[in-house]
Structure 1
Amino acid sequence: MSVHVLEASILLIILIVLSNILSHYLVAIPTALIEISVGLVVALVFKVQIDLESDWFMLLFVAPLLFNDGKRFPKNELWELRAPIFANAILLVLLTTILGGFFIHLVISEIPFSLALALAAVLSPTDPVAVHGIAERVKLPKKILSLISGESLINDASGLIAFKYAMAAFFTSQFSLKNAALDFLYMSFVGAIIGFVLINVFHYIRIFLVQQGIKDVILHTTIRILAPFVIFIVADEIAHASGVIAVVTAGVLSINQAPIFRGEFSEARMVTHKMWDMIIYILNGAVFVILGIELPLAMSETLVNPTIKNGRLILYTLIIWFILLIIRVLWSYSYLWMTYLRAKHNTPKPRFITALLTGLTGVRGAITMATIMSVSYSMPDGLPFVQRPLIVFLACGVILISLLVATVSLPILTKQRKRLLLTGDDQYENTDMPDKIDLPMNATQDEKSITEIRARKLMIQSAIKVLQTSKDEAEKVVLSDLLHEFNIRLRHLYKENDHNTENEKYHQLEKEIQLIANEGEFTGINLAIENNQVSEKTAKYYLNFWEFKRQALTGGLRPNLKKAKFSIQRQLNHFLFKMRFVNSDSKIADSSLFILREASAVGAIDALKNYKKQLSSESKLYKVKLNIINQSLSDYRNQLERIRHISTHSRKEYELQLQKFYLKALDAERTTIQELFEEGKISLSLANRLRQSVNYSEISLLQNDE
């Protein structure tokens, strides 16, 4: 079924969210491949089709993505690598078009030479989105990643021009090298000029608005987001120049523009930055989901063609991919040797593995797909374009192979298998807040450095320490709630680990200790029943309630469903109870239900304390168990405080006290960040990222007060 624009947009966002959820479980597979697979499944099962047109695809997806990449590309690296970047983006594309086209025609005689040139041209540019989708999970050498990223910003223009003239030669049997060269120069230079002029126009418009006192954050954010779309339209549709070059130029030049809002209007910069993050997140995912949805449509016509065997089609695809890889690797290796021989100082000899990594990272993506799908179904004379299904299949096949081979080979060649840098956590660390981190006196900077997760743990532990030292007995509920919140954050950090065995062990220990606490709850409930503190009806209800909770801890699908039922039922009963027994001006009645909740919490605390006394400090997992027990004790103590003191504050008083102590905790986190940075344990970029996280927490707290 073909879907309309609104339906397609909602479907794409749903599939992007689903793919990114799956990516957190399938950590060995790049998110890009998961998104392609999800799109492919939806296309095959539900027969979904999205009419992919090159024009709107380039405007909607390529323009903002390239603008963002250009804006974030380090300008020093861009200048340092300008020669290899432009060599790869222009000369390598032309070389790939000519040599690739020659060998494709030699291997597949059904494809005329001019059409083979067009196929090689459309496959020559690397896709920036695909490059980042693969590179996010491996630690490539910095220069290789910078080279590939810089090249992918520019090579679309040269590839598309080469494709345009190769297709014109095929359709008309005419080709003018002079016209092609002049067209390329016009599109490149005019595109760059348009990008330069318009990004400055947008910049000065925003300055003018600020000077006029117009500081609407949403307005300024909207203007900033509109920039790449307007620049692309002006360059591509009006000036008939390269929209790609225009938006990349605009993005790169926006780095050098002085911030308008650094002091008095920093909110606009923050909102714009986060808005861009969200847009890029959606567009990146949509590119690969669309790629997956389009694959069946693009490849089905050739697969069902009885004149070409499917085995031969796959062989042709593999050969074309290998030809393009060899050209790219040999070019990179030759360029490395040329640079080495020209160097005036001693430099290490070029390694073939570096050239191989450069070749494998040059994956193809949705830009190739969009371009090849835009090819006409008929010849200029009205006859069917019989080779179209074949070249579409081959292009799509090369896209898939380049992604799959890079996915499998790059982690092996780079010996890096982690998808995110955040996951490099020390296993089973002590949660007690140390005054200093013990490190060797002669440790190097890298050895002194700690991971982001470790730094976040230390921040939370410092906040907990400040809250625990507060002697304000009148604010027990507020302090208990905050300690409970920070302990939950600390618990989540312990679970952020890519090592499946470690995660499974942690979850197993957590479940064992929760079951001990659950048995303690049962003991406390029975004690309250034996002392005739509650009615028989309430006791029976609460014991059923407890049984649901116990079964939910046993694991498996059925218990998990019961756990969900238990959670919903608990919230519903709590709401109904409040509606029956509580009004805004009186204290909570001394009900049987609250007596049982208090008794169960006391029983769980006693059980956990007894288990804690039995722990052996010599045990390998002593620190982990102690951490889980302390977190569980914090949960039950928080529950007790809320039961015993919930009516001592009005809602407004509670919020004011919460804000007061939360700000103290955030100040403690800021102090920890500064200490870690001054001691050389975290980098400036990580320190800034952590400070930004604390600032967001503070902003969220203050906004809730409005």
Structure 2
Amino acid sequence: MEIIESIILILSLLIIANIISHYFVSIPPSLLQIAAGIIAALFMHIKIYVDTEWFLLAFIAPILFNDGNNFPKRELWKLKGPILGNAIILVILSTVIGGVFVKWLIPSLPWAVAFTLVAVLSPTDPIAVESIAKKAHIPDKLMHLINGESLINDASGLICFKYGVAATVTGVFSLKNATIDFFYISIIGAILGAVLIWIFNGIRLYLINQGVDDSILHAIIQIIIPFIIYYLAEDIFSVSGVVAVVVAGIFNISSSKNMSNFTPEIRLVTSRTWDLVVYVLNGIVFVLLGIEIPFAMEKLVHNDNINTFGATILAFIIWIMLVVIRFLWSYIYSTFSNNSDGKITLWSKTRFDDCLMSGISGVRGAVTMVGVLSIPLTIKGGAPFPSRTLLLFIASAVIIFSLLGATLIIPLLTKNSAPVAYRGSTFVDNEDTDSDEEDIPTVELTAKEANRVILEKTIKKLRAEMDDGDTAVYSSVIAEYLYDLRNIGIQSNTLVKSHQISKRRVRGKKDAELWDVCFNCELEAIEELYNNQKISEESYDLAVKKIARYKREIVHHRSNPTVEFFYNYFRRTYLQLRHFIYRSVKSDDIKQINQDSIKISIAGAKNALEKLQELSQTEHDDLDDNLIYIFQRHYEDRLELLQGKYRGRSPQFNSDRMNLEIKALSYRRAFVQDMLEQGKVSKVTANELRQNINYSEEVINIGVD
């Protein structure tokens, strides 16, 4: 009963703090949550004992998994150098330099305890600075760096902290053993996280393949993944659970915004469920931190060696030290890493401001709080852990100072503000819908039949506007709708939203037949290039084998769906690993093959397009024009990509496409209303159609958040 009462109380404090935060928008919610905990501890005499092991499992594991899941993977790769530098080298430098400084500042503190304190203060927490970033225009690159760094430095900081505590408790420290252990638990933890999430991804994809598309079920599976991975890593394999869940989050399939295997409903429910879980867990962490602070202060009041005011000054000085170390590291690193022209500029006002912002943005939070609470009460022999109360208070105060510093100083450095993007915003379109009515059966349509009619009318509407807009954007969206229309007659369980035609998504016999035609065209192009000695024999053999495999898998071979699914899943993984290893080890050897591969792909696409154009201008009973159009778009996109004209990944193209997708959804919603008013669909069917449209629209809005 006591546990239930504590949970209800903490959630109540969290709700109150977050309600207040809506009236004081300039204050980060995390500060108000800490304040709520402090008030509860002072006036209600609440004290909650936290077990560190279950706390890490219940709070840190899902929070870090979600961070890794949502982090932009392209930005993570682009900033891998500074992220790894901040997350590993900076943490170690901060621990060593900061430990020496703290020992000088507090001579009575044992060396091991000084290093322990700085190690637990090293991990950064981007949650609070993200809320500030909504009001102060922090550069995107800096925000990506802070977020990426926080994914990794939690592990490095906690490992350094672990050895600091162990050295204090046992009185023994081995740098060699600590270094070996550090790399072992980090590397094996990363491998374990990647393997486990690969297994979970396979299970989720298999369930979808079998028609199990219950959105609640998939959301629950997603939620339990980090708990299982963290538990297996820590308790079964004795490696870093923090590293394992971070890597798992990065490789989780839902980290991609193009989850074409999952319905919009599954994606929406899963995303909103994670929003709720992280919202609650992160808030509880700061409320608990607030509850702990008054008790640490109370013990300091009765301490003859140092008082609360003196400890507060020490905490402030230590926070300034951490900011200075972070600033100097950022400035030195950026000075010598951004000199592609060979010139080193020692002074730059812009670089100074950016690095200062980076130093202040290193906000401490949940991981620091969890670590300091895990400090044992006693050391070997039964004596009290040296200055445990002081460490708890200083760590708590540094968290508060870092939050206040970011809140007050970052807006001054940016000197401007950006509008806050609220979740759940919907697109409102007041344009008139197409007044042209097609002949629709007078009988009441099923949801499937009505959806077909709506897609056809939406395609017609978009084609009518195509001449007045960006042809490439319209073609991309129309091809997607045509493929969805194609899938209606083939899929039996669920309407999967496919973004493009693919060799991995063959929906029926006609798709396979058209692929066979295109493959033959590609083979002709390969033969011509080889006969004209424009490609090597090795490249020729690889290309022919590749096409032969596609023909065997797509055109001729239709095995048991379960066997086919797992065969393709394992094969894709094997090919990705082989490609990565081969590219890393034999990069010089594959240069010629890559060049030949580009020639082969361009020639094959051109040849296939010529054949498709010929088919589109002739009468054919076995193929329909919509399917040919879809394949044409596939090969046109390939050509644009290979020739450097591809805009599908540019911010402007994505923005225009997103706006057109939302516009198309507004057309679909209007067509549903028209059919309801005309008696073509029932209210139940109309609501089902509207719900699917709303799900699709919400999925687009998630990408904007």
User: TM-score category by the smaller chain?
Assistant: 0.5 to 0.7
Q: CA deviation at 1:264?
A: 7.2
Read off the aligned partner of 2:655 and give its amino acid letter.
S
SS at match of 2:339: helix
SS at match of 1:240: coil
SS at match of 1:92: helix
Partner Cα separation in structure 2 for residue 235 and residue 67 of structure 1: 14
- Are the counterparts in 2 of residues 369 and 396 from structure 1 also a CA contact under 8 Å? yes
Partner Cα separation in structure 1 for residue 137 and residue 18 of structure 2: 21
Partner Cα separation in structure 2 for residue 353 and residue 270 of structure 1: 39
Alpha-carbon RMSD: 4.0
Read off the aligned partner of 1:209 and give its amino acid letter.
L
| Cross-structure match for 1:494 | none
Among 80, 96, 99, the alignment partner of 2:97 is: 99
1:108/1:205 CA distance change after superposition, 3 Å = same
- Are the counterparts in 2 of residues 261 and 268 from structure 1 also a CA contact under 8 Å? no
Among 58, 66, 70, the alignment partner of 1:60 is: 58
1:345/1:259 CA distance change after superposition, 3 Å = same
SS at match of 1:341: coil
| Cross-structure match for 2:363 | 363
SS at match of 2:47: coil
Q: CA deviation at 1:300?
A: 2.4
Summarize the alignment of residues 364-443 of structure 1 with structure 2, pairs less than 5 Å apart. Answer: 364-417=364-417, 420-421=420-421
- Are the counterparts in 2 of residues 231 and 247 from structure 1 also a CA contact under 8 Å? yes
Q: CA deviation at 1:258?
A: 7.7
For each residue in 1:11-60, what CA deviation from the matched residue of structure 2 results, as whole angstroms up to 9, or x when unmatched? 33333332232222111111221222222222222222222232222111
Q: TM-score, normalised by structure 1?
A: 0.61
- Are the counterparts in 1 of residues 289 and 396 from structure 2 also a CA contact under 8 Å? no
Q: TM-score, normalised by structure 2?
A: 0.61
Partner Cα separation in structure 2 for residue 357 and residue 119 of structure 1: 24
What percentage of aligned pairs have identical amino acids? Answer: 41
| Cross-structure match for 1:702 | 687
For each residue in 1:336-376, what CA deviation from the matched residue of structure 2 results, as whole angstroms up to 9, or x when unmatched? 11112355599995621111111100011121111111111
**Stretch deviating more after TM superposition (310-319 or 356-365):** 310-319
Read off the aligned partner of 1:15 and give its amino acid letter.
L
1:689/1:282 CA distance change after superposition, 3 Å = farther
1:122/1:685 CA distance change after superposition, 3 Å = farther
For each residue in 1:371-397, what CA deviation from the matched residue of structure 2 results, as whole angstroms up to 9, or x when unmatched? 111111122111223411111111111
Summarize the alignment of residues 375-524 of structure 1 with structure 2, pairs less than 5 Å apart. Answer: 375-417=375-417, 420-421=420-421, 459=428, 462=430
Partner Cα separation in structure 2 for residue 121 and residue 280 of structure 1: 25
For each residue in 1:79-108, what CA deviation from the matched residue of structure 2 results, as whole angstroms up to 9, or x when unmatched? 111011011111101100010000101011
Aligned residues: 480
| Cross-structure match for 1:147 | 145
- Are the counterparts in 2 of residues 36 and 292 from structure 1 also a CA contact under 8 Å? yes
Partner Cα separation in structure 1 for residue 330 and residue 399 of structure 2: 21
Read off the aligned partner of 1:277 and give its amino acid letter.
D
1:693/1:377 CA distance change after superposition, 3 Å = farther
Q: CA deviation at 1:688?
A: 8.3
Partner Cα separation in structure 1 for residue 685 and residue 405 of structure 2: 44
Summarize the alignment of residues 88-237 of structure 1 with structure 2, pairs less than 5 Å apart. Answer: 88-237=86-235
Among 312, 319, 322, the alignment partner of 1:321 is: 319
Partner Cα separation in structure 1 for residue 669 and residue 293 of structure 2: 41
Structure with larger Rg: 1
Partner Cα separation in structure 2 for residue 179 and residue 689 of structure 1: 56
- Are the counterparts in 2 of residues 28 and 417 from structure 1 also a CA contact under 8 Å? no
Q: CA deviation at 1:299?
A: 3.0
Q: CA deviation at 1:263?
A: 5.9
SS at match of 1:683: helix
Summarize the alignment of residues 303-702 of structure 1 with structure 2, pairs less than 5 Å apart. Answer: 303-343=301-341, 349=348, 351-417=351-417, 420-421=420-421, 459=428, 462=430, 683-684=655-656, 687=659, 702=687
For each residue in 1:186-211, what CA deviation from the matched residue of structure 2 results, as whole angstroms up to 9, or x when unmatched? 11111111111010101111223334
- Are the counterparts in 2 of residues 298 and 396 from structure 1 also a CA contact under 8 Å? no
Partner Cα separation in structure 1 for residue 657 and residue 43 of structure 2: 45
Partner Cα separation in structure 1 for residue 294 and residue 175 of structure 2: 37
For each residue in 1:184-235, what CA deviation from the matched residue of structure 2 results, as whole angstroms up to 9, or x when unmatched? 1111111111111010101111223334443333222211211111111111
Q: CA deviation at 1:150?
A: 0.5
- Are the counterparts in 1 of residues 38 and 293 from structure 2 also a CA contact under 8 Å? yes
SS at match of 1:127: coil
1:420/1:258 CA distance change after superposition, 3 Å = closer
For each residue in 1:289-325, what CA deviation from the matched residue of structure 2 results, as whole angstroms up to 9, or x when unmatched? 2222222233321134244233322221111111111
- Are the counterparts in 2 of residues 288 and 366 from structure 1 also a CA contact under 8 Å? yes
**Stretch deviating more after TM superposition (211-220 or 194-203):** 211-220
| Cross-structure match for 1:271 | 269
Partner Cα separation in structure 2 for residue 27 and residue 65 of structure 1: 23
Partner Cα separation in structure 2 for residue 696 and residue 157 of structure 1: 48
1:380/1:413 CA distance change after superposition, 3 Å = same
SS at match of 1:110: coil
1:115/1:216 CA distance change after superposition, 3 Å = same
1:335/1:696 CA distance change after superposition, 3 Å = farther
Partner Cα separation in structure 2 for residue 256 and residue 397 of structure 1: 37
- Are the counterparts in 2 of residues 16 and 285 from structure 1 also a CA contact under 8 Å? yes
Partner Cα separation in structure 1 for residue 661 and residue 41 of structure 2: 39
Partner Cα separation in structure 2 for residue 303 and residue 692 of structure 1: 66
- Are the counterparts in 2 of residues 134 and 403 from structure 1 also a CA contact under 8 Å? no
1:264/1:339 CA distance change after superposition, 3 Å = closer
Summarize the alignment of residues 9-48 of structure 1 with structure 2, pairs less than 5 Å apart. Answer: 9-48=7-46
Partner Cα separation in structure 2 for residue 213 and residue 178 of structure 1: 53
- Are the counterparts in 2 of residues 317 and 394 from structure 1 also a CA contact under 8 Å? yes
SS at match of 2:136: coil
- Are the counterparts in 2 of residues 207 and 260 from structure 1 also a CA contact under 8 Å? no
1:50/1:105 CA distance change after superposition, 3 Å = same
Q: Does 1:83 align with 2:70?
A: no
Read off the aligned partner of 1:365 and give its amino acid letter.
G
| Cross-structure match for 1:545 | none
| Cross-structure match for 1:585 | none
Q: Higher relative contact order at CA 8 Å, sep ≥6: structure 1 or structure 2?
A: 2
1:10/1:689 CA distance change after superposition, 3 Å = farther
- Are the counterparts in 2 of residues 128 and 153 from structure 1 also a CA contact under 8 Å? no
